[in-house]
Amino acid sequence: MSVAHDPSTARLTARLTARGIVRRYGGIEAVAGVDLVASPGRITALVGPNGAGKSTLFDCLAGTVRPDAGRVVLGGRDVTALPAHRRVRLGLARTFQQIAVFPTLSVADNVRVGAEQPTARRDRPDPRTVAQRTADALRLFGLQDLAAEPAGTQPTGVLRLVELARALAGGPRVLLLDEPAAGLDVAQTARLVSVLRGLAARGMALLLVEHDAELVAELADTVYAMAEGRMVAGGPAPTVLADPRVTRAWGAAT
Ligand code: ATP
């Protein structure tokens, strides 16, 4: 483990590892024994056609779905048996495919919920830290001018950024992003790309599930490709994205 550079997010970096993950639904093996590593300082993408098992694997990593077999290790600690909120305390944050914000709360209060997140070292951050983290996360996504607005009145693109800001306000070591660019316009996508690159440069491990092939090619250092519950390929982005097994399974679907 190495130390992150930014003092405001000074927490140890962490690797997220999945080994032999299996998850069945009835007779279907949604995830059929897959391995994946999301490393500090890297952007890792998980791709594949609809029904490949990406969301199920993602949920196993986040802790909202318990695998039938396999292990999830976060920063050297086996978290397989830990529920999602305990993983959050250990520095694992996520965003959702279906946007999940509190519509009656203001944009700033939605982000504050993330900033108030307890960590493994501290039950609850002090109010000054919460205010600072909230302000930093709002600024990161250019949301300062909308801070007082009720979240429920904002368009989808803004809500995606609010969700991201909330996930980041807790100072995670690993960030899981489920289709982060869905609903974003060109300018918002450009901001997203630049923020995610900046986070990786500061040592965060990022894992995104993404359908947009161009965005994956632009952002990802490492790509894993799933099809029918199995990992078809994994490695450096240019190699995997040019792999005929991947273009056959995924290219046809995009
Ligand atoms: P998409 O890109 O459409 O989100 P995906 O790659 O994320 O697809 P999953 O949503 O993980 O794929 O689904 C993998 C398989 O598991 C599919 O056959 C799906 O129908 C099945 N599945 C997923 N969740 C459940 C569930 N809660 N109950 C039953 N079957 C499920």
- Whether pLDDT at 20 is above 90: yes
Residue pLDDT, tens place only, 139-180? 998 999 999 999 999 999 899 999 999 999 988 999 999 999
Q: What confidence tier does 99 reach under pLDDT thresholds 50, 70, 90?
A: confident
- Residues 6 or more apart whose Cβ sits within 8 Å of residue 135: 144
CA of 72 to the centre of ligand 1 (A): 19
For 214, residues 6+ apart whose C-beta sits below 8 A from its C-beta are none
The predicted-structure confidence for 210-226, as pLDDT tens digits, reads as follows 988 889 999 999 999 99
Kindly indicate the confidence band of residue 19, based on its pLDDT and cuts at 50, 70 and 90: very high
Q: Is the pLDDT of residue 201 over 90?
A: yes
CB 198 within 8 A of CB 32: no
Cβ contacts of residue 103 below 8 Å, gap of 6+? 150, 151, 152
Is the pTM above the cut of 0.75?
A: yes
Q: What is the mean pLDDT of residues 126-136?
A: 92
- Ligand 1 pocket at CB < 6 A: 25, 28, 30, 48, 50-56
Edge-to-edge order in the sheet of strand 222-227: 92-94, 174-178, 205-209, 43-47, 222-227, 230-236
Rounded Cα gap, residues 56 and 66, in angstroms? 10
Q: Are strands 28-38 and 16-25 parallel, antiparallel or unpaired?
A: antiparallel
Question: How many C-beta neighbours within 10 Å does residue 209 have?
Answer: 22
Interatomic CA distance for residues 34 and 32, integer angstroms:
6
Q: How far is the CA of 139 from the centre of ligand 1 (A)?
A: 35
Residue of minimum CA distance from atom 15 in ligand 1 = 30
Structure tokens at 156: 């989808």
